[in-house]
Homo-oligomer: A and B are copies of this chain.
């Protein structure tokens, strides 16, 4: 038997074996649900991807919906982290905004299958309130980070005082997500580059 199923440190990470397995399930399931949608991805697909059997899966998640919700949350978290990670902390707020946009254009999704927020928004728009809630929270999180940055820009006097942070954040998110969708179906980077150009015009119009 092992040294204590519940309280043992595993290779420096303080995870039990169960928590470790649980995480691996999410890592494997996230791209599947992101690509095929909730209805289009079966538990069998997850079984295949994880190498686990039904029982193994249902020990960690009480239903397909719960698994999908957590996988979505994981994917959303990874995406937002990637998109709002500050490479150079010395930049002013406007420059950081531009860096975020550049990052999105060059590395739009952290998980295979496109942006989990947009995919989730479309997939769970009607029905499935649990998954919907995850998406809403994800967008709210992303937006609040952008809005905070905009407010900071106003404080730094690089962005005009009169600018509505809510509006600008929405504009950035909508343009990028819309462009990403176009980019994916057309299998071309042009729409993303075009969005970047348009956002530059908007940013210039708000610069102090």
Chain A residues within 8 Å of B, Cβ to Cβ: 35-40, 113-114, 118-119, 121-123, 125-127, 132, 135-136, 139, 166-167, 170-171, 173-179, 181-182, 184-186, 190-191, 194-195, 197-198, 201-202, 205
Residue of B nearest to A128 (CB): B40
The residues of B that contact A171 with a CB separation of less than 8 Å are 175, 194-195, 197-198
The residues of B that contact A118 with a CB separation of less than 8 Å are 122, 181
Residue of B nearest to A195 (CB): B174
**Contact between A126 and B139 (Cβ–Cβ < 8 Å)?**
no
Q: How far is the CB of A173 from chain B (nearest CB, A)?
A: 7
**Alpha-carbon separation in the docked complex, A122 to B179 (Å):** 13
**Contact between A184 and B114 (Cβ–Cβ < 8 Å)?**
no
Contact partner, A182, options B38, B170, B191, B194, Cβ 8 Å: B170
Residue of B nearest to A197 (CB): B167
Known: A170-B179, A174-B182, A175-B175. 20 other contacts (CB 8 A): A35-B126, A118-B181, A119-B122, A121-B182, A121-B185, A122-B122, A123-B123, A139-B185, A139-B186, A166-B194, A170-B194, A171-B194, A171-B195, A173-B178, A175-B178, A176-B178, A177-B181, A178-B181, A201-B202, A201-B205
